[in-house]
Chains A and B, each alone.
Chain A
Amino acid sequence: MDIVVTAFLVIGLVFFTGGGVGILRLPDFYTRLHPAGKLDTLGSLMMMMGIAVFNLHHFTWGALLTSLKIILIVVFIFLSSPTATHSIVDAGVRAGLEPWTKKERRE
Chain B
Amino acid sequence: MDTQTQRKYVYEPSKTTEPDFPSASRPKGSPFFAHLITFLILFSLWILLSGKFDLFHLSLGIISCIIITLISGDLLFPESKTKGLIRSWLCFLRYIPWLLYQIILANLHILYLVFHPRMMELIDPEIITFQSKLKKELSLVTFANSITLTPGTITVYVSVNGDFHVHSIDKKSAELLPGEMESKVARAFGEQ
Contacts and interface: CB of A to CB of B under 8 A. Distances in A.
For chain B, which range describes its interface: under 10, 10 to 19, 20 to 34, or 35 or more residues?
35 or more
Contacts of B148: 37-38, 82, 85-86
User: Which of A26, A83, A107 has the most chain B CB atoms closer than 10 A to its own CB?
Assistant: A26
> How would you classify the secondary structure of chain B's contact residues: helix, strand, loop or mixed?
mixed
A106 to B, nearest CB: 5
A72 B157 CA distance: 28
A82 B145 contact: yes
A85 B151 CA distance: 12
Contacts, number: 106
B120 A39 contact: no
Interface stretch (B19-27, B87-95, B111-119, B182-190): B111-119
A101 B114 contact: no
Interface in A46-90: 62, 65, 68-69, 72, 78-79, 81-83, 85-86, 89-90
A101 B7 contact: yes
Given A18-B111, A25-B119, A42-B103, A34 B124 contact: no
Nearest to B106: A38
A34 B110 contact: yes
User: Which of B9, B51, B154, B156 has the most chain A CB atoms closer than 10 A to its own CB?
Assistant: B154
Contacts of B149: 38, 41, 78, 81-82
Given A27-B120, A38-B151, A100 B125 contact: yes
A41 B103 CA distance: 10
B151 A90 contact: no
B38 interface: no
Given A18-B110, A35-B114, A99 B9 contact: yes
Contacts of B11: 93-94, 96
Ordered nearest first, which 4 A-B pairs have the shortest CB separation? A82-B148, A22-B114, A82-B145, A38-B151
